[in-house]
Structure 1
Amino acid sequence: MSWRLMTPEDMPRVQVLADSIHVGHPEDLEVLAERQRLYPQGCLMLTEDQRAIGYALTHPWHYGEPPPLNGLLGKLPAAPTTYYIHDVALLPVARGKGYAVQAADMLIAHARAAGFGNLSLVAVNRSQAFWERVGFCVLSITGLDAKLASYGPDAALMVRDLASPIRDA
């Protein structure tokens, strides 16, 4: 198994994965495909024997302003202030094998090479502990409570400062 760049042809498989992994956070194919179209170099697929078992969608964005779930971006900011991880999702068969850490390492390295000072994300589905292990910490910003609540009861805005090593653990 290995991570590779996602292609437009992967989008139907990404939709199937998203629908089965994020049952409580549905997103339209148009939304997922727009992320890949706007920033293809930040979108990854994990396959095993040509079967899709995971994906990652990322893009430059505004620090402290996570995009709404299931919402189109329209365009990427001209002067982005964070490298945003929209989603890293794995089927149960792929979990516990180090693939999430591989994806995190690849995304951190990409953000660093692209000149970003930080990465940010909204941790959902009890993923906060994983993101803390790869160097992210919870960020509290006044006025984001309602938006974060739309991501689910355990949603937490997190940030990784790239001044620190790729991974401390």
Structure 2
Amino acid sequence: MNTSRADTIWRLMAPDDLGHVTTLAARVHPDYPEDTTIFAERLRLAPSGCLSLMLDGQFGGYLISHSWRGLLSPPLNTLLGSLPTPADRWYIHDLVVTPQGRGQGHAQVAITLAENAARQAGLPTLTLTSTRHALQFWARQGFVPEEISAEEQAILASYDPQACLLSRPVG
């Protein structure tokens, strides 16, 4: 699981990381607040899909991801209770790299790790909900919009009016 340079590592998230996750999420996503309980539940439900980025020994970002089914994404700040079975895709709930860690390829490594998790679970697709601020980033990573129902569009509106459900095949 250890990847990248000696001073940089993506590792499995630990419960002790959740305070850092919540603080960073609030700083980077002030318009999309989520409670610590949301991150804690995702870590409990899908520990292999929850990773922490360490940069020079400091918390530098996180990936929250898990198996999922269908094109109805989880509403913002909502507990799942359990993951759907059978799953048909791997869902990237959130990927954040600190401002000082951006532009160094850390997010691309995290996406590759999410693909690895999807492959291990036998799932052919990565899916995520992109906010208006991140649409260009995700498009550069090969994600394209899904055709969605009115029900899905209503859920996406819990993020923002331009939020979009995006997917790409696992490479």
- TM-score norm. by structure 1 comes to 0.91
Q: Which residue of 2 aligns with 1:153?
A: 161
Give the superposition deviation at 1:125: 4.5
Match for residue 86 of structure 1 among 59, 83, 93: 93
CA contact (8 A) 1:83 1:120 kept: yes
User: How many Å separate the matches in 1 of 2:43 and 2:125?
Assistant: 20
Q: Deviations over 1:39-65 (max 9, x none)?
A: 000001111233212101001112201
Match for residue 18 of structure 1 among 25, 47, 69: 25
| Percent pairwise identity | 42
Q: Which residue of 2 aligns with 1:97?
A: 104
Q: Which residue of 2 aligns with 1:119?
A: 126
Could you tell me which runs of 5 or more consecutive residues in structure 2 were left unpaired when the two chains were aligned.
1-7
- Call closer, same or farther: CA 1:112–1:135 in 2, change over 3 Å: farther
CA contact (8 A) 2:69 2:85 kept: no
User: How many Å separate the matches in 2 of 1:51 and 1:42?
Assistant: 20
Q: Which residue of 2 aligns with 1:63?
A: 70
152-161 or 115-124, larger mean C-alpha shift: 152-161
User: How many Å separate the matches in 1 of 2:47 and 2:41?
Assistant: 10
Could you tell me which runs of 5 or more consecutive residues in structure 1 were left unpaired when the two chains were aligned.
none
Amino acid in structure 1 at the alignment position of 2:98: L
User: How many Å separate the matches in 1 of 2:161 and 2:59?
Assistant: 28
CA RMSD of aligned residues (A): 1.3
Give the superposition deviation at 1:145: 1.8
Q: Deviations over 1:45-99 (max 9, x none)?
A: 1112332121010011122010011110001112112111000011111111111
User: How many Å separate the matches in 1 of 2:73 and 2:84?
Assistant: 13
Give the superposition deviation at 1:118: 0.8
User: How many Å separate the matches in 2 of 1:66 and 1:75?
Assistant: 14
SS in 2 for 1:26: coil
Amino acid in structure 2 at the alignment position of 1:92: P
Q: Which ranges of 4 or more aligned residues in structure 1 deviate by more than 6 Å?
A: none
Amino acid in structure 2 at the alignment position of 1:122: T
- TM-score norm. by structure 2 comes to 0.90
SS in 2 for 1:85: strand
CA contact (8 A) 2:69 2:89 kept: yes
User: How many Å separate the matches in 1 of 2:64 and 2:35?
Assistant: 14
CA contact (8 A) 2:67 2:83 kept: yes
